[in-house]
């Protein structure tokens, strides 16, 4: 495996529409150590793979007249969102939809693959990974939102891992979540490695008393280490200025945590100014150099949309 580990963020999503079989298989071909599915829940309780429960951005549902009346407004983690939502569709209905590129203005070449691929289930992604001998890094999206809808994500997730024999500490799985409560509860049920996600701003939705800034202090990291094995940090928390890292990696390692960083993307639009090449937001900048700096800081894993540029 690479050092740091290469986690293909939604597959090779820089080159194929995210969360599709094509994106995952390309990532594996390019040398990814893990593939990453984001998990939401269908109306009939099946874990499916989408970036958000709002599926209008990443599927062709808006072009399907039979589903036009399901467009609605909901509040997800305190934010109003308008669109079509996975929890309003059965798995059979979701399987009729086809994936499309989420960032067509930055990744126009990916639109050539629009309309080809169906939505995958979590089980399908586990099958892809097992066949290739790579790990899986699933992220539980909005579990506190789904629970009161009668869609307990944690129960469905644990049941899936149990069926697959993936509940041990050596399982090739890293379970991610921005919320704290679900990870604490999962630790009581499974030994599978857990990763607490933290962003630069804000805090976990289920802990309004807690900020991400507090979570990445030595005291906060020590608390995370009581239930998780990893911290997954926004790159800005590790390197706010190119070449000038914070103490986060060292402090996390001192607490006994491994550190993953998200998300490494090649396009100038996602890079700090010093790593850009030219002025075109869609053009590729110096991703390899950026990854090399983070590796030098002691990073344990990198989430990237471009595993082909990250793998050694």
Residues with active-site annotation: 9, 51
CA–CA distance, 3 with 311 (Å, rounded to integer): 9
Size of the chain, expressed as the number of residues it contains: 312
Distances (CA, A) of 133 to 34, 161, 171, 172, 185: 9, 16, 12, 9, 28
Our CA angle for 198, 200, 206, nearest 5°, is 45
Which two three-digit tokens encode residue 165? 């024999």
**Which of 33, 24, 45 lies closest to 6 in space, CA to CA?**
33
- Cis peptide bond upstream of 263, omega within 30: yes
Q: Residue 52: in which H helix or E strand, if any?
A: none
């Amino acid at each position: 495996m690479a050092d740091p580990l290469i986690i293909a963020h939604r597959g090779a999503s820089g080159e194929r529409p995210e969360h599709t079989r094509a994106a995952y298989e390309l990532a594996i071909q390019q040398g990814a150590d893990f593939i990453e599915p984001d998990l939401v829940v269908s109306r009939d309780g099946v874990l499916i793979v989408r970036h958000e429960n709002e599926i209008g951005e990443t599927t062709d549902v808006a072009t399907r007249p039979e589903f036009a009346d399901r467009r609605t407004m909901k509040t997800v983690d305190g934010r109003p969102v308008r669109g079509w939502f996975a929890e309003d569709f059965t798995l059979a209905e979701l399987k009729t939809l086809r994936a499309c590129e989420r960032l067509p203005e930055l990744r126009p070449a990916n639109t050539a693959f629009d309309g080809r691929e169906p939505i995958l289930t979590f089980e399908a992604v586990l099958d892809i990974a097992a066949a290739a001998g790579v790990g899986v890094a699933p992220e539980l999206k909005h579990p506190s939102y789904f629970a009161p809808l009668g869609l307990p994500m944690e129960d469905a997730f644990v049941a899936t891992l149990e069926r697959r024999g993936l509940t041990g500490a050596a399982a090739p799985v890293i379970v991610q979540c921005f919320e704290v409560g679900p990870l604490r509860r999962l630790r009581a049920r499974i030994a599978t490695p857990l990763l607490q996600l933290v962003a630069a701003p804000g805090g976990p939705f289920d802990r309004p008393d807690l900020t991400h800034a507090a979570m990445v202090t030595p005291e906060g990291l020590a608390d995370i280490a009581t239930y998780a094995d990893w911290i997954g940090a926004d790159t800005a928390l590790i390197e706010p200025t190119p070449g000038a890292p914070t103490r986060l990696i060292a402090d996390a390692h001192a607490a006994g945590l491994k550190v993953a960083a998200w998300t490494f993307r090649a396009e100038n639009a996602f890079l700090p100014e010093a790593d850009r090449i030219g002025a075109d937001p869609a053009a590729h900048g110096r991703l390899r150099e950026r990854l090399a700096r983070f590796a030098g800081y002691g990073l344990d894993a990198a989430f990237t949309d471009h595993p082909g540029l990250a793998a050694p």
